[in-house]
Amino acid sequence: MMLRIRSRDGLERITIDNPNITISQLKTIIQTQLSIPIHNQTLSTNQNLLLSKTNNDLNRFTDMSNPNTPISSLNLTHGSIIFLSYDGERKIIGPTTAFTPAGSFGRKMTMDDLIAKQMRVSRQESPHCQSVSFDRDCANAFQLYVNETLAFAVKRGGFMYGTVNDDGEVEVDFIYEPPQQGLEENLVIFRDPEEEEKAVEAIALGLGMRKVGFIFTQTVSQDKKDYTLSNREVIQAAEFHAESGLKEWVTAVVKLEVNEEMDGAADVHFEAFQMSDVCVKLFKEGWFETEIKDDDDPKLSKMKKDVVVGVKDTKEVDNDFFLVVVKILDHQGPLSSTFPIENRNTQVTMKALKNHLDRTKSLPFVKRISDFHLLLVLARVFDVAADVPALTECVQTQSAIPEGYQILIESMAGAA
């Protein structure tokens, strides 16, 4: 039986032989398989455990505190997620490669040894992600801005949040746009830990969602060039994919394509890919040459040492070798995307909150605040460990917002 363990390090898996073990025995298995001492572990089936900051916060999660409780009594089955908080630091255990001396200092290299030590790059036929479905409103809000405001003249990007089911199908329900500087062929993302790792993650967790991918635009000048993704884009996409630890992670590209047969009319196109397993491995192991010169061919990724492509040793790989196409669908998700979006040219103020509430006054209050971008404004004022989970739980279940929160939100808007 496999259980998934979600901690601050991401999602990991453990294997147990007996589904009737106790919580004490489960902690021993976590210690053995994930190298986290038993006395440092706090477990819960409640995702809000991961927002705890103090011991008092941790002590509120008691559903898995009795060491003698059998895990079968908690309705944990194959693939269930358990949330884990722990003190201290640990080294994430990954695959290790043993060093074998060769040449004049040890045994001779055989042909099999030489083949085993080569890094081979070939096309990956099937993605781990079976499909990606975009919420129509959030996709439209993103493309509308880059099309009508930025005119596809500079690049824009964002992180996609949503869900992944057991069949590897990804749904994107909102896009967070971090602070950034978009240029004609380069996109610089300024990561804001306070906003991204605390506020955005708290909202996503409360909505039962997680970060599932990266989306960016290509400019009109890039449309004239002969590549699907440039070398800079491959490196950036591989970096975010490697950082995520999610095998279903999706990279989406939005571009403006001019149709010469239709008198030069332009259409906005969405494309979705996964970076191949080899691409992510090469990035993690530092094979990519990350310093890109102006005269480098953008459709080729440079390596620091030779890789094998087909039968040829080379330091340059066609970017298309790293891309695995993902099928795109669309859906109507649980959130709206009508509230002004963060980190754009115009700063979002409480005046925007007032205008939004005035415009939606005919709707139930929970519906009026069922917008990620609005919740992010509230998260800058409210406590992310207590208030944000309470509000997002109401949004997720579409249940009534407690009167105290409603009064507070309306007074914030009224003060604008």
Contacts of 213 (CB under 8 A, 6+ apart): 132, 159, 160, 170, 172, 249, 250, 251, 252
Contacts of 146 (CB under 8 A, 6+ apart): 152, 156, 217, 254
What's the pLDDT tens digit per position in 354-364? 999 999 999 99
Strand-pair partners of 318: 300
Q: Indicate the length of the chain as a whole number.
A: 416
pLDDT at 24: 93
- Would the pLDDT of 48 be above 90? no
Residue 392 burial (CB < 10 Å; 0-12/13-18/19+)? buried
Amino acid making up residue 292: I
Stretch(es) of the chain classified as CATH 3.10.20.90? 2-86
**Which backbone phi and psi does 389 adopt, to 5 degrees?**
-60, -35
Query: What is the enclosing helix (H) or strand (E) of 350?
Result: helix 350-359
**Which backbone phi and psi does 155 adopt, to 5 degrees?**
-80, 155
Q: Are the beta carbons of 121 and 316 closer than 8 angstroms?
A: no
Report how far residue 130's alpha carbon sits from residue 137's, in angstroms, rounded to the nearest whole number. 22
Contacts of 273 (CB under 8 A, 6+ apart): 127, 229, 237, 250, 251, 252, 253, 323, 324, 325, 326
What's the pLDDT tens digit per position in 74-119? 988 887 889 999 988 776 654 333 333 443 344 555 555 555 457 8
Mean pLDDT of the chain: 90
Lowest-pLDDT range of 29-33, 180-184, 367-371, 412-416: 412-416
Q: The CATH number of 2-86 is which of 3.40.50.11540, 3.40.50.360, 3.40.50.620, 3.10.20.90? A: 3.10.20.90
**Which backbone phi and psi does 229 adopt, to 5 degrees?**
-125, 145
Q: Give the model's confidence band at 183: pLDDT under 50 very low, under 70 low, under 90 confident, else very high.
A: very high
Strand-pair partners of 314: 307
- What's the whole-number mean pLDDT along residues 148-170? 96
Amino acid making up residue 284: K
- Would the pTM count as exceeding 0.85? no
Residue 353 burial (CB < 10 Å; 0-12/13-18/19+)? buried
Residue 282 burial (CB < 10 Å; 0-12/13-18/19+)? buried
- Quickly count: other Cβ atoms within 10 Å of residue 316's Cβ: 16
- Would the pLDDT of 285 be above 50? yes
**Which backbone phi and psi does 333 adopt, to 5 degrees?**
-85, -175
CB burial string 234-272: b at 16+ within 10 A, e below = bbbbbbbbbebebebbbbbbbbbeeeeeeeeeeebebbb
Q: Are the beta carbons of 264 and 258 closer than 8 angstroms?
A: yes
Class of domain 120-331: alpha beta
**Rounded CA Rg of the chain:** 24
Amino acid making up residue 10: G
Stretch(es) of the chain classified as CATH 3.40.140.10? 120-331
- Quickly count: other Cβ atoms within 10 Å of residue 195's Cβ: 18
Report how far residue 197's alpha carbon sits from residue 195's, in angstroms, rounded to the nearest whole number. 6
CB-facing half-sphere around the CA of 256: CA atoms within 13 A: 20
- Would the pLDDT of 273 be above 90? yes
Contacts of 294 (CB under 8 A, 6+ apart): none
- Would the pLDDT of 390 be above 60? yes
Report how far residue 366's alpha carbon sits from residue 184's, in angstroms, rounded to the nearest whole number. 40
Q: Give the model's confidence band at 410: pLDDT under 50 very low, under 70 low, under 90 confident, else very high.
A: very high
Interhelix angle 350-359/372-379, rounded to 10 degrees, is 140
